[in-house]
Structure 1
């Protein structure tokens, strides 16, 4: 009888709503709303004409809105070109960053060699260099190589800037995978290369995706280096293209509706990219792989 009463109390206690969890849930909802509101406001403003946006009273819901701002953005005829350049630069940066960073992270995590600590220290120190202090050297280097206003030239600079941090990211993922997995596979008859490709490499997928997302965002959103290297109007990335909407002239004021519509178009490829990779951006795939 005593056991039955205790069990009943335990069940009732388990179903009880705890004030702490309710408070944390409420805080989480508030944080989510604060985080999502700028995105909503951007899309909302993209649907409204500039006359409405310039009013002192904000319009919270775009009743009667239209896609005229998006149409005006496409009528400029330069969005497709800028999109193609940004996509090409971002994909080149991601591809080569992952290759270089992966090989470097594998070397410093799995092997012991002379100069290993110096290499790790150099990677750390390179990240401390201010990007603005390298503009002149980068411009002269690209000019000497004939790579100004070039997708390849801009991609090289992005790769050099992103690789150090990407090495640190992947180093943590590689070090987190026990070497015992490869050794067990080698005992079963696989070579070291086969053991790595079949056992270790699939477990590195979350790290590769996370590093790829970082490299993609850095290349996609970067503005200052592109402003220095890509000075030709026909070779602008999307951040440079977006700047043209906020440059005032004596004959035309800023149309904030078009600015918001252009900003929305710049954000759409990033959202699509995250939709494809979000399934892999998880951790813990290695947990439980080794027992004992």
Structure 2
């Protein structure tokens, strides 16, 4: 191995000393941002374990010496809590499955096939992402009313499916385009049909992208409160888990401990889902950025 000249080695050491402060500053900034982002989550969990007196205290402190499970007990003792949880699982699971399947087929179509107005369709997908959800809530309410879907889980599944598809299609399109067309031609030469290539070759290759889009669809459907409040008016048996928070709100003395405990319980499935798919999520987002 050739040794560096003294002047070259000196310049390398100088460059490392110059870069080191910037690297330390970047790492310190990352830690600060992480702490700022994690503090609300910490405060939510802390408030869930605090006794009622400490939660209502005029001088809150970021710790407790007397943790209590009373708030969680009040949450799980709610009569309809289990039903709310199952409804949330059903809505989120249906949205994730349906959006992944439809987005995969649609992304394959816009990436592989040539047809009229394809560019217009892609632009419309981007425009759909720019429209605020709040601006469409009232029109969707009348639409669901005309369809007779109010007070049903269908009124929650359809809007979330509609809002998750544009992002999923646009993202998966990049994954499909990254698969060489020569691979499809080779599969056709080997006797594979288009359907077999689609599900046995293309689907596994774009699966990381499906996971990435599914995470966003799941979080959106699981944490939704706007649609659940707007479209589920009288049939409380079809309410989802975010509606359970309203049980602990009172105009005079809201049960903030119960609210924080219910919010903590709502967060656990999201964390579990993220932990299960985080490896494929990272590779999926990396593939999207690379494209």
Query: Please, what TM-score do these two structures have when normalized by structure 1?
Result: 0.85
Corresponding residue number in structure 1 for 2:246:
243
Measured against aligned partners, the alpha-carbon deviations of 1:92-112 in whole angstroms (never above 9, x if no partner) come to 111111111111111111110
Corresponding residue number in structure 2 for 1:290:
none
- How far 1:143 moved relative to its partner? 2.8
2:171–2:209 Cα contact (<8 Å) kept: yes
Measured against aligned partners, the alpha-carbon deviations of 1:142-162 in whole angstroms (never above 9, x if no partner) come to 333332211123212221222
Measured against aligned partners, the alpha-carbon deviations of 1:247-287 in whole angstroms (never above 9, x if no partner) come to 325xxx11211111111011111111111111211237879
Corresponding residue number in structure 2 for 1:95:
97
Corresponding residue number in structure 2 for 1:141:
143
- Structure 2 gap segments, 5+ residues each: none
Corresponding residue number in structure 1 for 2:85:
83
Q: Does 1:154 align with 2:156?
A: yes
CA RMSD, aligned part only?
A: 2.9
Question: 2:169 & 2:5 partners in 1: Cα distance?
Answer: 58
- How far 1:185 moved relative to its partner? 3.8
Corresponding residue number in structure 2 for 1:18:
20
Question: 2:70 & 2:267 partners in 1: Cα distance?
Answer: 18
Which range moves more in the overlay, 89-98 or 170-179? Answer: 170-179
SS state at 2:3 partner: helix
Q: Classify 1:188/1:257 alpha carbon distance in 2 versus 1 (closer, same or farther; 3 Å).
A: same
- How far 1:172 moved relative to its partner? 2.1
Question: 1:128 & 1:162 partners in 2: Cα distance?
Answer: 12
Question: 2:5 & 2:130 partners in 1: Cα distance?
Answer: 64
Q: Does 1:275 align with 2:278?
A: no
Question: 1:54 & 1:254 partners in 2: Cα distance?
Answer: 10
Question: 1:199 & 1:286 partners in 2: Cα distance?
Answer: 17
Which range moves more in the overlay, 256-265 or 197-206? Answer: 197-206
2:50–2:67 Cα contact (<8 Å) kept: yes
Corresponding residue number in structure 2 for 1:66:
68
Equivalences, count? 282
Question: 1:196 & 1:229 partners in 2: Cα distance?
Answer: 37
2:209–2:287 Cα contact (<8 Å) kept: no
1:50–1:257 Cα contact (<8 Å) kept: yes
Q: Classify 1:129/1:48 alpha carbon distance in 2 versus 1 (closer, same or farther; 3 Å).
A: same
Question: 1:128 & 1:3 partners in 2: Cα distance?
Answer: 57
- Structure 1 gap segments, 5+ residues each: 288-292
Q: Does 1:233 align with 2:241?
A: no
SS state at 2:280 partner: coil
Corresponding residue number in structure 1 for 2:50:
48
2:225–2:242 Cα contact (<8 Å) kept: yes
1:181–1:200 Cα contact (<8 Å) kept: no
Question: 1:98 & 1:4 partners in 2: Cα distance?
Answer: 55
More helix by share: 2
Measured against aligned partners, the alpha-carbon deviations of 1:195-228 in whole angstroms (never above 9, x if no partner) come to 3434332121111001111111111122222212
